[in-house]
Structure 1
Amino acid sequence: MRPLKGKVRIGTSNGYMPGNKLTFPAEYQLRSRLHYYSTFFDTIEVNSCFYKTPLRSTYEKWLTDVPEDFQFTLKLSKGVTHAKELKFDLDCMETFLQAATGTGNKKGCLLIQFPGKITLEHFNQVEHILTQLRLLDPANEWRKAVEFRSDTWYIGETSELLNEFGASLVLHDFSKAKISAVMPKANFVYMRFHGPTGNYRDSYSGVVLDEKAGDIHEMLASGKDVYVYFNNTVGSAFENARYLQAKLLSG
C-alpha cells in the first residue's frame, strides 16, 4: 500500500446528524449540537451562511465548541454566486469574509457554488469573483473550491482558470452536471455527495463508497488533501460519512 502524504477530512453539510439532543448521550445533552457533531467529524460544510451571513461573534462561539484540529468550510453567500449575471455587490463579499475571520485558525475551504444557469459564457464574471477573493484573502487562508452545475465548464480552459487562483474543482454527483476527467493542479480535492440520484436523498451503497474510498486513497497517496462532505441530508448523510471514515481507516 502506498504511504499517504495527504490528509482527509470528512463531514456532513450543515453538520447533519439524526435525532435531537434527547437522543444524545447524557454528557452531551447540555452542550451544543456542533460540539457533539465534532466528536464524530473533524470538519463541517456550513451552508446556512449561503443564505444569511452570520455575525463574527457567532463563528467565535463555534470555535469554543470544537477541538483544535477542526476546520470550518463555508459556502459563499448567494449574494455573490447567485447574483443576476453574477453582477454582485462587493460589499456582500467583504462582509462575508470579514465575519468569517471569526473562525480563527480553523479555516477550511470556501465553497463557491454556481447554479446551472451560470455557463461558460460567464467565464469573465467567474474570473472576476476569484480575483476579488484573492484580493480580500491575500494570505490565502481559505482554500477555494468551485462547484459548477453546468457541464459547459468541464473543459481545459476551466482548469487553467482554477490553476491561476490555486482553486480546486468540486467533484460532485449532481444529476444535471457531468464531471470531466480534466482536473486543476490544486493541492487539495473537494468531494461533495448530493445523493445517489443527485437529489439530496437516499443512501450510497457500500460498493459505491468502497470505490470512492479507493479513489480517495490514491489522491492522498499523491500528496493531495481531500475534503469530503455528504449533502444527502434527506437520506443517510451521517451514516454514509461514518462508513467512508471507517473504510479509509481500515485501509
Structure 2
Amino acid sequence: MIRYGPAGWMYDDWAGVVYPAPKPRKFDPLAYLAGYFDTIEVNSTFYRPAAPTTIQSWLRRVEHNPRFRFTAKLYQRFTHQRKTTWTADEVDEVRAGFDPLLESGRLGAVLIQFPWSYRRTDENREWLDDLTRTFGHYPLVLEVRHATWNTPAFFDGLMERGIGFVNIDQPLFRNSIKPTAHATSQVGYVRVHGRNYQDWFREKAGRDERYDYLYTPDELQPWADRTKEIAAEPQTEDVFVVTNNHYRGKAVTNALQLQSMVEGKKVPAPPPLFNEYGEVLDPYAEPAAPPVEP
C-alpha cells in the first residue's frame, strides 16, 4: 500500500485554493482531504502533544475512508530541546495522544524529525537510542538532515531495530543529506520539503516563506521512481509519501502529481485546485467530488 498526502490540513491560505470558498456550512477540511488522500501527516503534535479527545475527533472524521492512516510528528521536546533529559510525565503526555491512534489501527508512523544541526556524534547517538527505546512500541520513522548520518552502519542499525528511514528532498547546502531511497523497516517514507534555497535557512523567514515551492514534473519524477523502489523492497508493507511544501496548496498539487506518476493514471483532485494550478494538474488529475464522501 502506497499512501500519498500533504503535511497538515489547517492552513488559511488553502481557502479557495484547496477548499471551496466560501466554505459550505459545517465544512470539515480533514474529512474533505480524507476523501482524496489515504494519509495526512500531523504537524500539530510537534508543537504540543495531542489530547485524547482531539484524537477521537480525528478518528471520527476519517471513518469514511478505511484505507486512511495518520502519521504524526513526535513532540519537539524530544528532538529539538535536548539540554535536559525528558521526564516520565512528558512521555506519558505524548503516549496519551498516540495510543488511541495505535489502538484504532489508524497510526501509520510516528515521525521523529531532527534538525539539520543534529549530527552523528556519540552524544547524539546515545540520545537517539534512548528515544527510540522509549517510543519503540510505535511504528517509528526517523528523519535526519545532516550528511554525517549517511553511513552503512547507521542504516544497518535502523534495520535491526525496525525503524524506518525518512527519505527527504530539501535544499542541498554543505553537508545536507542528499536524496535517497532507503527502506529499513516495514514502513517506507518519502518526505519532500520543497527547494526554496533563498528562505530555507534565512533566520527571519516565516513558515509560509520557507515552504513556498512548487515542484516541476521533472523534479518529481525521480521521487516517483524512488517511491516504486522503496515499495519493491521485500520488507516494505506500507509506504507514505508526504509533501510538506504546503503554501497555497502546493503540497496537495504535488502529492496528486506523484500519485499519478506512480500509478500511471489520472487521479481525482479537489475542483478548486484547478483555478490556480489547472495547467500544472491537467496531465495528472481531474476535478472531482471526493471519491470517498464524508
Q: Above 0.5 in TM-score?
A: yes
Distance between the aligned counterparts of 2:191 and 2:84, measured in 1? 23
1:152 aligns with 2:148: yes
Where do residues 43-58 of structure 1 align in structure 2 (5 Å cutoff)? 43-58=39-54
Alignment of 1:22-101 (within 5 A): 22-23=20-21, 26=24, 29-66=25-62, 67-85=65-83, 87-101=85-99
Task: Give the aligned partner of residue 192 of structure 2.
Answer: 193
Runs of 4+ in structure 1 deviating by more than 4 angstroms, as ranges, are: none
TM-score normalised to structure 2 length: 0.73
How is 1:123-162 mapped onto 2 (pairs within 5 angstroms)? 123-134=125-136, 137=137, 142-162=138-158
- 2:213 is the counterpart of 1:202: yes
- Unmatched 5+ stretches in structure 2: 201-209, 266-294
Task: Give the letter aligned to residue 179 of structure 1.
Answer: K
Measure how far apart 1:22 and its partner are: 4.7
Q: Distance in 2 between matches of 1:190 and 1:86?
A: 30
Amino acid in structure 2 at the alignment position of 1:106: R
Q: Which moved more, 1:69-78 or 1:85-94?
A: 85-94
Answering whether residue 144 of structure 2 is matched by residue 166 of structure 1, we say: no
Q: Is the 1:144–1:168 Cα contact (8 Å) retained in structure 2?
A: yes
Aligned residues: 237
Separation of aligned partners in 2, 1:148 and 1:79: 16
Identity %: 26
Aligned AA for 2:188? V
2:241 counterpart of 1:240? no
Q: Match of 1:146, as an amino acid?
A: L
Q: Deviations over 1:183-204 (max 9, x none)?
A: 4531232111100336422111
* 2:213 match: secondary structure: coil
Residue in structure 1 matching 2:3, options 9, 17, 21: 9
Deviations 1:159-184 (A, max 9, x none): 13212320111111223521375845
Q: For residues 218-244 of structure 1, what are the alpha-carbon distances to aligned partners after superposition, in whole Å with 9 as ceiling and x for unaligned? A: 332334231111001126111111111
Distance (Å, rounded) in 2 between the aligned partners of 1:184 and 1:70:
21
Deviations 1:136-176 (A, max 9, x none): x2xxxx32110112221111221132123201111112235
Contact 1:79 1:89 in 2 (8 A): no
**Distance in structure 1 (CA, Å) of the matches to 2:179 and 2:263:** 28
What secondary structure does 1:64 align onto?
Answer: helix
Contact in 1 for aligned 2:220/2:258 (Cα 8 Å): yes
